[in-house]
Amino acid sequence: MEHLPIPPSEAIIYEDDKLYVCLASYPLTIGHTIVVWKDQVEDLHLLSIKEYEYLMDIVDQVRDLLLNYLNVEKVYLLYMDEAKQVHWHLVPRYEEQGFNVLIHEPVLLEDFSLAGELKDYLSK
């Protein structure tokens, strides 16, 4: 079973006992963020209703954070279960629409300063 790699601590924007939010290691766009359920759960339908609602509440809050802080019109929510670990990708949309954002060539993220900025903005 494939597991998601643990992100560097400087990539973490938010964390609690159930999940963490971090910048993507290989982002498609600036601000590409991932919300990861910590317990090994292979698919959304295996979460309890309470867990699912909690997860989606955090996804909603992170989407709003990205919309406001990055001043973008849209943040795409992508759920893919190839890693067999519940997680959402939140991909800010800048000057393009639709699937075009998905054809960007991801590059290893080396500057984590945005995570600190988002964390500071979130704490206000």
Which pLDDT band holds residue 90 (cuts at 50, 70, 90)? very high
Tell me the per-residue pLDDT of 43-67, one tens digit each, with 9 for 90 and over.
999 999 999 999 999 999 999 999 9
pLDDT of residue 46: 96
Tell me the per-residue pLDDT of 14-36, one tens digit each, with 9 for 90 and over.
999 999 999 999 999 999 999 99
Show the domains of the chain with their CATH numbers.
Answer: 9-122 (3.30.428.10)
DSSP string covering 18-64, please? SEEEEE-SS-SSTT-EEEEESS--SSGGGS-HHHHHHHHHHHHHHHH
Q: What is the mean pLDDT of residues 81-110?
A: 87
Token duo for residue 37: 């359920």
pLDDT of residue 2: 53
